[in-house]
Amino acid sequence: MARVFNFSAGPAALPEPVLRECAEEMLDYRGSGMSVMEMSHRSPLYQSIIDDAEATLRRVMGIPANYHVLFLQGGATLQFAGVPLNLMRHGRAGYVVSGNWSQKACQEARRYGSAEVVASSEGTGFDRVPEFPSDLDQSLDYLYLCQNETVFGNMMRDFPDAGSVPLVADVSSCFLSLPLDVSRFGLVYAGVQKNAGPAGVTVVIVRDDLVQDGPALGVCPSYMDFRLEAERGSMLNTPNCWGIYVCGKVFRWVEEQGGLEAMEARNLAKVGPLYDYLDHSALFSPSVLPGHRSIANVCFRTGDEALDGEFVTGAAERGIANLKGHRLAGGMRASCYNAVPQEAVDALLAYMSDFEARHLPRTRPI
Ligand code: PMP
């Protein structure tokens, strides 16, 4: 068995011990005689699995007691609608547009009301986090942002001061990569397929007072009604039983590794040398300004599309997989999520300097 160094942006690398444990329990989950995939979600045994996943996540993230934790389906994309359907009580929300995902969320919200762009870095190709507005209209229903822009590779370390307007954050691609003060937000959500499990589970963490009166919009499907989902323990219907089970194991793995501070330190130790290399390279250049760079998605390019392609193909031949940038951004992207080991980054750095040494003469003016 040969496992590659996997820099996929998502679905992405999972911790090997978790994969092994899943394999061991595949046919017979702890003496039950069945796989978790074959188990009723209404059984006490499955209830213990989902309860344990939630309790572990609450410990790992330090989620305050007045927040509901939901395990839903439909990906992060469904939450582009779920957020306005539940929170747009007066028909107006503000959006910070820092890249592809907040732009998509903003467009989707316009199906339900007025979604106003209050800050954007589109003008500079999303090479940074936009400057936050200083005097936010306090009549907005919420202020939406995407903490880590997976496609373009920028990340917010600070958040806007929104006054009494609830902050809503899509944290999909930095979920569990670093500590997050949940109490600053009205709602945070994440698709789990980058750092926390297989695709098909979205974790929604929402402050109870925001949903206690039910969804803002009457057309909200029951499935997306956060109050109802909270009342039913994320089991209004059949949940993604298997996915939640794997997430629970990843949450435990994060806890055993030392929690979110340890994850942040490890991730910085991975991406720091990559950014440093890029800042000093004569061939490659980083796509995002210092101070705005993602802890997970390192985006870079040579400036020559054919050379970028050659780099990605050559990497794959060496077992360094999934470096091609998103089609909207071009170039390369090395996604260094929690389960990507330091050795993967070391191998990538070695390959980059080898590639640079071989190709630099070609790119220099004669
Ligand atoms: N938000 C962010 C930040 C993402 O990175 C992605 C997917 N890469 C999405 C939303 C959409 O997620 P999904 O495919 O689970 O709907």
Outline where 235-326 has alpha helix (H): 241-256, 259-280, 305-317
pLDDT of residue 364: 52
37 and 114 assigned to the same domain? yes
Q: Give the CATH number of the domain where residue 344 resides.
A: 3.90.1150.10
Ligand 1 closest atom vs CA 10: 8
83 and 188 assigned to the same domain? yes
Catalytic residue list contains 242: no
Task: Assess if residue 7 is contained within a domain.
Answer: no
Q: Tell the residue number behind the tokens 């990507």, with chain if given.
A: 340
Last residue of a domain, one of 256, 285, 306: 256
Q: What are phi and psi of 206, to 5 degrees?
A: -135, 140
45 and 173 assigned to the same domain? yes
- How far is ligand 1, taken at its centre, from the CA of residue 90, in Å? 27
What is the crossing angle of helices 16-24 and 241-256, to 10°? 130
- How far is ligand 1, taken at its centre, from the CA of residue 191, in Å? 6
Pocket around ligand 1 at a 6 A CB cut-off: 10, 75-77, 101, 146, 150, 170, 172-173, 191
Range of the domain at 93: 16-256
182 and 276 assigned to the same domain? no
Look up the pTM and report it: 0.97
156 and 214 assigned to the same domain? yes
279 and 250 assigned to the same domain? no
Catalytic residue list contains 170: yes
Catalytic residue list contains 101: yes
Last residue of a domain, one of 221, 256, 291: 256
Task: Assess if residue 97 is contained within a domain.
Answer: yes
Task: Assess if residue 78 is contained within a domain.
Answer: yes
**What stretches of 73-158 adopt beta strand conformation (E)?**
92-97, 114-120, 143-146
Q: How far is CA 97 from CA 3, 51, 155, 202, 315, in A?
A: 37, 35, 12, 21, 32
Q: What are phi and psi of 279, to 5 degrees?
A: -65, -25
Task: Assess if residue 11 is contained within a domain.
Answer: no
pLDDT of residue 1: 73
Mutating to test ligand 1, I would choose from 96, 97, 101 the residue with most ligand atoms within 8 A of its C-beta, which is 101
Task: Assess if residue 364 is contained within a domain.
Answer: no
Ligand 1 closest atom vs CA 80: 10
Counting Cβ atoms within 10 Å, is residue 102 exposed (0-12), middle (13-18) or buried (19+)? buried
Q: pLDDT per position in the chain (366 positions), as tens?
A: 789 999 999 999 999 999 999 999 999 999 999 999 999 999 999 999 999 999 999 999 999 999 999 999 999 999 999 999 999 999 999 999 999 999 999 999 999 999 999 999 999 999 999 999 989 999 999 999 999 999 999 999 999 999 999 999 999 999 999 999 999 999 999 999 999 999 999 999 999 999 999 999 999 999 999 999 999 999 999 999 999 999 999 999 999 999 999 999 999 999 999 999 999 999 999 999 999 999 999 999 999 999 999 999 999 999 999 999 999 999 999 999 999 999 999 999 999 999 999 997 655 555
Q: How far is CA 363 from CA 50, 57, 137, 310, 332, in A?
A: 55, 49, 50, 14, 18
269 and 214 assigned to the same domain? no
pLDDT of residue 76: 98
- How far is ligand 1, taken at its centre, from the CA of residue 264, in Å? 21
pLDDT of residue 360: 78
79 and 22 assigned to the same domain? yes
232 and 323 assigned to the same domain? no
pLDDT of residue 2: 86
207 and 321 assigned to the same domain? no
Task: Assess if residue 141 is contained within a domain.
Answer: yes
Could you tell me whether strands 320-321 and 332-335 are parallel, antiparallel, or unpaired per DSSP bridges?
A: unpaired
Ligand 1 closest atom vs CA 75: 15
Mutating to test ligand 1, I would choose from 173, 174, 188, 299 the residue with most ligand atoms within 8 A of its C-beta, which is 173
Q: How many domains does the chain have?
A: 2
Task: Assess if residue 306 is contained within a domain.
Answer: yes
Q: Give the CATH number of the domain where residue 102 resides.
A: 3.40.640.10
Q: How far is CA 171 from CA 92, 125, 127, 143, 283, in A?
A: 22, 21, 18, 14, 32
Task: Assess if residue 337 is contained within a domain.
Answer: yes
Ligand 1 closest atom vs CA 78: 16
Mutating to test ligand 1, I would choose from 97, 172, 173, 327 the residue with most ligand atoms within 8 A of its C-beta, which is 172
Last residue of a domain, one of 256, 281, 312: 256
- Of the candidates 101, 141, 270, 308, the residue annotated as catalytic is 101
158 and 305 assigned to the same domain? no
pLDDT of residue 24: 98
252 and 263 assigned to the same domain? no
